[in-house]
Amino acid sequence: MQEHSHQIVPTNKNNDQIGSDWATVAQICSRYPIGKTLLYSYMDINGGKIKTANLKKIGAVRGKRLVSVLSISNFIESQIEGGEKRKERAK
């Protein structure tokens, strides 16, 4: 199986690279053909398979939601493989 390499490089206000293990919801939606509503429906906060983290100060109601780039890539790969199996069963 061919290995795919997806890289999202979040940047801060100074446009410095800050890593590619995690990305914001907006960055994920701009990189992958997934809308915000669909992405949230697959996240672990809704019992899904895409890992997220919510960074917030103690006692804060709001924070910054980050998405694991590896988990979203793995999730998409699992959907591709499932689609191929369904096609084979239909034959």
* Helices assigned H by DSSP within 1-91: 25-31, 36-42, 69-90
Residue 86 has pLDDT above 80, yes or no: no
Q: What does the pLDDT average to over 55-80?
A: 89
Q: Measure Cα distances from 55 to 10, 47, 50, 65, 77 in Å.
A: 15, 19, 16, 6, 27
pLDDT in tens, 23-56: 999 999 998 888 999 998 888 776 778 998 999 9
pLDDT of amino acid 88 = 54
Q: What is the predicted pLDDT for the residue at 32?
A: 86
Per-residue pLDDT, 89: 53
Domain boundaries, the chain: 22-55+64-90
